[in-house]
Amino acid sequence: MRAFLYLREFVKKERTNHYLQSFLISERLSTDNLKKLQLEKLIELLKYLKRNSPFFSKYLKENDIKLDRDWKDNPDILIAKLPITDKLFIKKNSEGWLTLNKDSKLSNATTSGSTGMPFRILHSSASRDVKAACKFRLLAWHGVKKGEKQLYFGCTYSSQKSKLSSLKISLNNKYVLNKIVIDFTKIREENIAKEIERINIEKPLTVWGYPSAIFEIAKYSIRNKLPITNEKLKMVILSGESNSQYMKDIIKQAFSLEPDDEYNSNEGFIAGTCEFHKLHLNDDTLIAEILHEDGTVSEYGKGELLVTFLYSFDFPFIRYNTGDIVEISEGKCQCGRNLKVLSAVDGRRGEVIYNGEDKISNSTCNHYLTKSLYIDTINKYQIVQNDFTSVTIKLSVSDTNRDYNGLELLMKGLFDKLVVNFEYVDDIPRDKSGKYRDVINNIKQA
């Protein structure tokens, strides 16, 4: 399978392997040299944006930010001169955000993260390849090679995929990435036994999934004394939602492996756990900052995570507020890498919606809304369940004259065992903690 992967990279002129080899070297740099690398890449990015981005060309000029001066002694001053951005900021400046480089090969993506604000973004070939390389580096930390078999439990719905596009994705997964994709949109106990059998028979080296989905598989395995016996398994990767230590303990008991976190977003790959299960920031591909409640910004501490993706050339993410509350610690890891350690991440919670006998994960709810045809006019959303018979979907939309009947039918199809109520509101506030919650389950048994 790996031969097909390398062949595809050659034919499509991808540089994933180039970046992977580079990052396996840069992750071993000293702290000082990592900072030098970040500054070098930041200036390279800003020079590109000065030439090609209408917004940043104007911003750099108006704020008298001279990129040719020597910033070596003041790298923090340079980044502090740049604007703190988020989805709303980018939407407001969308006309000049995308660069004018006609040679860039861009692809569409959608995101929401933990902000409940659906958002359409674009990736250049460089940002795509870097993101893939970070994924492969995470696997390499655990002795897994590119193209080795993966079992993927996720949600495959998309309103925008043609039959041809879906076929190409399916063939790419099967023959290039060696990935078995299982649609786990609706988690049903009657199906879990089959999936445990699949893990034992197919013997993937990695199992990837939303924490809430993997947790259900683990609970079923323990409760029904149906063991997971895949001796080839090297990684259980949790992605897309926050998870608790209790969830990890249950997963470890069932899979006989300490689960690993993949802190990945559609905007870029942020962090992953090393072989000693410390969550490391990809400091050689991004600059992370902490935004505190009082508006100050620091390199370490707890607060909202700001990320500057250093390879986001054509659709830049500069000091981008992810909406996640994290803590960056000053401690070192015994793996020997000087990549910073995230000691806590409070992203999208792994809550579920009870749909009759089904359980629908937080990430699946998010996936349906961000992959719908209505993404461009949904400002914010929130899904709330207070009892086992109904669910309320709150929507803040930018175009109140649009017919949202299709969206309502889509969500009623997802929650087909429930009464689905829709509320159209002006705004959806954060909770008392300052965190935005896109899915809330108020049923005590949850």
**Any domain includes 239:** yes
Query: Half-sphere exposure (CA, 13 Å, Cβ side) for 46?
Result: 23
Least confident of 87-96, 160-169, 318-327, 391-400: 160-169
**Last residue of one domain, picked from the residues 302, 326, 353:** 353
Total residue length of the chain: 446
Q: Are residues 93 and 146 in the same domain?
A: yes
Same domain, yes or no: 110 and 215: yes
Residue 237 to residue 269: CA distance in whole angstroms: 14
Between strands 269-273 and 279-281, the pairing is antiparallel
382 has pLDDT over 50: yes
Compute φ and ψ for 123, nearest 5 degrees: -120, 135
pLDDT at 242 over 60: yes
Residues 382 and 423 in one domain: yes
Residue 151 lies in a domain: yes
- Res 333 pLDDT > 50: yes
Q: What is the residue whose two structure tokens read 């017919």?
A: 403
**Same domain flag for 226 and 300:** yes
Q: Is residue 324 within 8 Å of residue 340, measured between CB atoms? A: no
How many CB atoms within 10 Å of residue 175?
Answer: 13
For residue 443, what are its two tokens? 């049923």
Is 245 inside a domain boundary? yes
Provide the pLDDT confidence category of residue 376 given band limits of 50, 70 and 90.
Answer: confident
Q: 171 lies in a domain?
A: yes
Residue 446 — pLDDT band, cuts 50, 70, 90? very low
What 8-state DSSP symbol labels residue 83?
P
**Per-residue pLDDT for 9 more than 90?**
no
| 210 and 266 housed in the same domain | yes
Residue-level pLDDT at 167: 80
Of the candidates 270, 263, 272, the residue with the CA atom closest to the CA atom of residue 241: 263
Residues 315 and 257 in one domain: yes
pLDDT higher than threshold 70 for residue 140: yes
* Tens digits of residue pLDDT in 164-219: 777 888 888 888 889 999 999 999 988 999 999 999 999 999 999 999 899 999 99
pLDDT (0 to 100) of residue 135? 96
Of the candidates 314, 317, 253, the residue with the CA atom closest to the CA atom of residue 288: 317
What does the pLDDT read at residue 24? 97
Question: Is 372 within the bounds of a domain?
Answer: yes
33 & 168 share domain: yes
Mean pLDDT value across the chain: 90
CATH number of the domain that residue 185 is part of: 3.40.50.12780
Looking at the 3D structure of the chain, how many domains does it have?
A: 2
Q: Mind listing the pLDDT tens digit for each residue in 397-412?
A: 999 999 999 999 999 9
- 446 found inside a domain: no
Residues 4-23 have a mean pLDDT of 81
Closest CA to 200 of 226, 174, 235: 226
User: What band does 101 get if pLDDT is binned at 50, 70 and 90?
Assistant: confident
- Tell me: do 242 and 183 sit in the same domain: yes
Separation between Cα atoms, residue 112 and residue 374, nearest integer Å: 13
Same-domain pairing of 134 and 161: yes
Residue with tokens 């993966």: 150
- Tracing tokens 């969830």 back to the chain, one arrives at 247
Q: Which of 303, 331, 353 is the last residue of a domain?
A: 353
Give me the CATH number covering residue 366. Answer: 3.30.300.30
pLDDT for 116: 59
User: Which residue did the predictor score with more confidence, 2 or 313?
Assistant: 313
Arithmetic mean of pLDDT, 358-379? 89
Dihedral sign for Cα atoms in the order 238, 169, 119, 55: positive
Question: Within a domain: residue 310?
Answer: yes
Cα distances (Å, whole numbers) of residue 134 to 22, 146, 342: 11, 11, 16
Task: From 300, 322, 353, give the residue that closes a domain.
Answer: 353
Residue 100 to residue 49: CA distance in whole angstroms: 9
Give the residue-averaged pLDDT of 64-90.
Answer: 88
| Pair 420, 310 in one domain | no
Q: Do the Cβ atoms of 294 and 285 come closer than 8 Å?
A: no
Q: Which domain holds residue 227?
A: 1-353
Are 415 and 345 members of one domain? Answer: no
Q: CA–CA distance from 172 to each of 1, 7, 299 (Å)?
A: 11, 12, 40
Whether 275 and 367 share a structural domain: no
Confirm if 67 and 60 have CB atoms less than 8 A apart: yes
Domain assignment present for residue 64? The answer is: yes
Please tell me which residue, 83 or 155, carries the higher pLDDT value. Answer: 83
pLDDT of 347 over the 70 cut: no
Query: Structure tokens of 422?
Result: 């829709």
